[in-house]
Structure 1
Amino acid sequence: MSSPSSDEILARLIDLHPKKIDLSLARMEQILAELGHPERKVPPVIHLAGTNGKGSTGACIAAALAAQGQRVHRYISPHLVRFNERIMLDNRPIDEARLTELLEEVERINAGRPITFFEITTAMAFLAFARFPGDALVLEVGMGGRLDATNVVDRPAVSIITPVFLDHETYLGGTIDLIATEKAGILKPGVPCVVAPQDPEGLRAIERRAAMLDTPLLVHGRDWWFEQHPEALIVEDNGERLELPRPALDGPHQYANAATAVVALRRLPPKLCPGPAALAAGVSRASWPGRWQRLWSGPMTDLLPPGWELRLDGGHNPAAALALAATLDMLPPRPLHLVVGMLNTKDASAFLAPLLARASTCTMVPIPDEPLSRPPEELAAAAAELGHPARQAAHHVDAVRAIVALSSDEPSLILVCGSLHFAGVVLADHG
């Protein structure tokens, strides 16, 4: 009998708990104790919470540490195409054999007890990070912070809170104050926390929590600043003015993410803290798939006339839409065609509003093989309420085919967006 694949084991793990999300640390603490507390044996941790920007900020940190010659592990969620992407060992996805072995181990130790998919796979990730030699671990929160499965690390080297916005309100609360309070749950006594640009309400919540724990905060606009230039990022931190390259990741919001990463890197222990050349490399080399990513080949790009461009972005909340809109505003004028697929758990109207105002056309599509996909007719109705008629298509490739057929030959931009799940499907189709 052949050994099960990681996909087969993961499918079993999904069914261990009746809820997809059940925020608690009790189950994590139990299984980690039974596994010998691997979370206490991982390399120094950079712990990131926040609504948007965690992945891009983490990518800059990982690139800078790698440029310094450090072996960097990363924990990322969700994945785009393959689960292996969530667990990066020395900046590479975990290999299938090691992943399968670790999954079987945690499944055996758990012995069928109720535990959420994110919790048991996070426990498995800690095993991987503890056993594979590394110098640093960039650890992203899955949701919230206070009760997130990653929040079992007693003393990270540094914490980061990226911008906090409304998202996951069902689980985290319906106000910025409540959501930021949950995100600030990762703060630890005496561990410095770098706070990215925040809504004032969110910053007050973070400062409240920090005061309770005696956590030193480094707050944007008070303790550090950055300037955005066409070909440079300037960071002012601790009395120094750092001149760095333009971020490799496009969009004005990426300047803030890169600057946040730089300030956090400078708070690492001397053994890890990158020098100026490595900081510059982190900013200029960071890569983060599914975020304003240009697609060069595949079934959709094969349909494009000369001079056309296809971009993919997994942003799915109102703040991400505003960041996309700001990115679009930096580009030379040309027709913009949107192809949108969204989950029914997201606020379609708030996401669409800033983008529709800039679009020549919008086509709504389902997310293939996704039970929570919002029907195209619902998305089209949301667009109509905003005063923008929208087309519908049965598949994203059909949407691009229709856009090209109904448009002039003028070079145009097609932006596929609305969901990280959708971005993963598209990337799987496009290599």
Structure 2
Amino acid sequence: MTRLHPKIIDLTLARVERLLAALGHPERRVPPVVHVAGTNGKGSTVAMIRAGLEAQGDLCHVYTSPHLARFHERIRLAGELIGEEHLMAVLDRCMEANGEEPITFFEITTCAAFQAFAETPADWTLLEVGLGGRLDATNVVDRPRLTVITPVDMDHQQYLGDTLGKIAGEKAGIIKRGVPVVVSRHHPEALEVIEARAARMGAPVLAYGQQWHAGVEDGRLVYRDERGLLDLPLPNLPGPHQIINAGTALAAMRELGLSDEACEAGVTRAEWPARMQRLRGPLAEMVGPGELWLDGGHNPAAGEAIAATLTGMPPARTHLVCGMLNTKDVGGFMQPLAGVAERLWAVSIPNEANTLPAEVTAEHAREAGLTADVADGVREAIAAATGMGAQRILICGSLYLAGHVLRSGA
């Protein structure tokens, strides 16, 4: 698939619409859709909505990207990862229908997901946008049940624009006429664009700080909207940023009519790998009594979220193992981390053409105020950090690095 359809980014809907038409429009035959866009928090929010829906006995199709360890993670059919034979069958069907026409890897695999969803019974379809929103391959469903926009920040500027307003405009492209939209906490510049798009489309808005609010009170997650108050345990996913993600998911679940019990299950049972995930396998054993964590965040907002999460943990000598892509704002990611980590170990991401060389990553870290060294790989970095007395080690900087770590049996 990668050889025949190179993994390039070329935002347009024409190729996807052509292939879906050739397949008989499977996107029109999927269960009711919840479509989620945003810069950060998409995956966590989808995971919470899914946990809530499944708690009340509903079956969910889920489409997310990128995968971490196996491609199958992108397509969840009625609660289970797509099987090998089924995946091959829908991919073959899509390739045959596409013929020799140009199409990108993400586009054809998105069409395969729609095909699988259309032929498998379920109650809901949860779609996570791949990049942007307006021209993303997932944005072909004319009438979703609900759209959701999680926090917008600076990322992928080469494709989405160089201001928060422009990026928000691309994300807001998933808003459909008359379809309610849940809006997370946003910078005023982004919120103004999102609300303007919703007004033009006649889409009812459920916005943080207006129609709903979420925060922490006495160690509990407290959510309020016009339906009343929910006093819940803190989210299962760690980090203060998950409070807003949980609030966004709760607003969506309430709009979908879930019970209070299902809403609580949504925030307390959700699991989402590589989002401040505590590792306990062979790599963690290298740290001895210390802690090993994994996070795939890779933009400035993610750096701030990681820093806030580490600040909220019990004090410990903290080292970072970091590998990043050359397409990211490395300095912006590093800057918030300078005050919470004692040292950073830079690595290159194995088998990734766009990896930033470890030496360059280390130099960015030093410019951000971190003490930084270079390691040959993740294991070498963990060994070096442990040897220098690190009590908490966080592997971070890229979902591609996180995938490498999980595939290695972490």
Q: Give the Å deviation of 1:356.
A: 2.1
Show CA shifts across 1:246-298 (max 9, x none): 11000111111111111111112xxxx32111111111100000100011012
In the aligned structure 1, how far is the partner of 2:304 from the partner of 2:370? 17
Map of 1:416 onto structure 2: 395
In the aligned structure 2, how far is the partner of 1:292 from the partner of 1:230? 23
Map of 2:286 onto structure 1: 303
The residue identity in structure 1 corresponding to 2:324 is M
For the 8 Å contact 1:55–1:76, the answer to whether it is kept is yes
Q: What 5-or-longer segments of structure 1 have no aligned partner?
A: 1-9
In the aligned structure 2, how far is the partner of 1:405 from the partner of 1:59? 37
SS state at 2:255 partner:
coil
1:361 aligns with 2:349: no
Map of 1:425 onto structure 2: 404
In the aligned structure 1, how far is the partner of 2:238 from the partner of 2:5? 35
1:41 aligns with 2:29: yes
In the aligned structure 1, how far is the partner of 2:153 from the partner of 2:329? 13
1:14 aligns with 2:5: yes
1:57 aligns with 2:40: no
1:333 aligns with 2:315: yes
Aligned partner of 2:306 among 298, 313, 324: 324
Map of 1:31 onto structure 2: 19
In the aligned structure 2, how far is the partner of 1:164 from the partner of 1:230? 29
The 10-residue stretch of structure 1 (196-205 or 256-265) with the greater mean CA deviation from structure 2: 256-265
Q: Give the Å deviation of 1:230.
A: 5.5
| TM-score (structure 1 length as normaliser) | 0.93
Map of 1:104 onto structure 2: 92
In the aligned structure 2, how far is the partner of 1:314 from the partner of 1:297? 18
Map of 1:145 onto structure 2: 133
Map of 1:186 onto structure 2: 174
The residue identity in structure 1 corresponding to 2:286 is L
SS state at 1:11 partner:
coil
Aligned length in residues: 410
Q: Give the Å deviation of 1:90.
A: 1.8
In the aligned structure 2, how far is the partner of 1:241 from the partner of 1:387? 43
Show CA shifts across 1:78-112 (max 9, x none): 00011000001122210000000110000000002
1:208 aligns with 2:157: no
Map of 1:380 onto structure 2: 362
In the aligned structure 2, how far is the partner of 1:230 from the partner of 1:329? 18
Q: Give the Å deviation of 1:399.
A: 0.6
Q: Assess, with a 3 A threshold, how the Cα gap between structure 1 residues 12 and 101 changes in structure 2: closer, same or farther.
A: farther
In the aligned structure 1, how far is the partner of 2:195 from the partner of 2:4? 38
1:293 aligns with 2:277: yes
CA RMSD, 1 decimal: 1.2
The residue identity in structure 1 corresponding to 2:170 is E
Q: Give the Å deviation of 1:239.
A: 4.2
SS state at 2:76 partner:
strand
Map of 1:4 onto structure 2: none
1:284 aligns with 2:268: yes
For the 8 Å contact 1:13–1:107, the answer to whether it is kept is no
The 10-residue stretch of structure 1 (308-317 or 275-284) with the greater mean CA deviation from structure 2: 275-284
In the aligned structure 2, how far is the partner of 1:220 from the partner of 1:355? 27
SS state at 1:414 partner:
strand
In the aligned structure 1, how far is the partner of 2:163 from the partner of 2:236? 33
| TM-score (structure 2 length as normaliser) | 0.98
Aligned partner of 1:198 among 186, 196, 205: 186
In the aligned structure 2, how far is the partner of 1:244 from the partner of 1:112? 53
For the 8 Å contact 2:12–2:135, the answer to whether it is kept is yes
For the 8 Å contact 2:338–2:369, the answer to whether it is kept is no
In the aligned structure 2, how far is the partner of 1:85 from the partner of 1:342? 22
For the 8 Å contact 1:229–1:246, the answer to whether it is kept is no
1:252 aligns with 2:235: no
Q: Give the Å deviation of 1:244.
A: 1.8
Q: Assess, with a 3 A threshold, how the Cα gap between structure 1 residues 412 and 230 changes in structure 2: closer, same or farther.
A: farther
Show CA shifts across 1:199-258 (max 9, x none): 100000101111211111111101111121364211111141112221100011111111
Q: Give the Å deviation of 1:13.
A: 4.0
For the 8 Å contact 1:356–1:362, the answer to whether it is kept is no
In the aligned structure 2, how far is the partner of 1:13 from the partner of 1:106? 13
In the aligned structure 2, how far is the partner of 1:291 from the partner of 1:372? 22
Q: Assess, with a 3 A threshold, how the Cα gap between structure 1 residues 280 and 311 changes in structure 2: closer, same or farther.
A: same
SS state at 1:164 partner:
coil
In the aligned structure 2, how far is the partner of 1:14 from the partner of 1:353? 37
Percent identity, aligned pairs only, is: 51
SS state at 2:320 partner:
strand
Q: What 5-or-longer segments of structure 2 have no aligned partner?
A: none
The residue identity in structure 2 corresponding to 1:314 is G
In the aligned structure 2, how far is the partner of 1:387 from the partner of 1:45? 45
The residue identity in structure 2 corresponding to 1:372 is N
SS state at 2:354 partner:
coil
Map of 2:63 onto structure 1: 75
The residue identity in structure 1 corresponding to 2:276 is W
SS state at 1:294 partner:
strand
Q: Give the Å deviation of 1:76.
A: 0.3
Map of 1:228 onto structure 2: 216
For the 8 Å contact 2:33–2:125, the answer to whether it is kept is yes
The residue identity in structure 2 corresponding to 1:421 is Y
In the aligned structure 2, how far is the partner of 1:384 from the partner of 1:68? 50
For the 8 Å contact 1:295–1:430, the answer to whether it is kept is no
Q: Give the Å deviation of 1:11.
A: 3.0
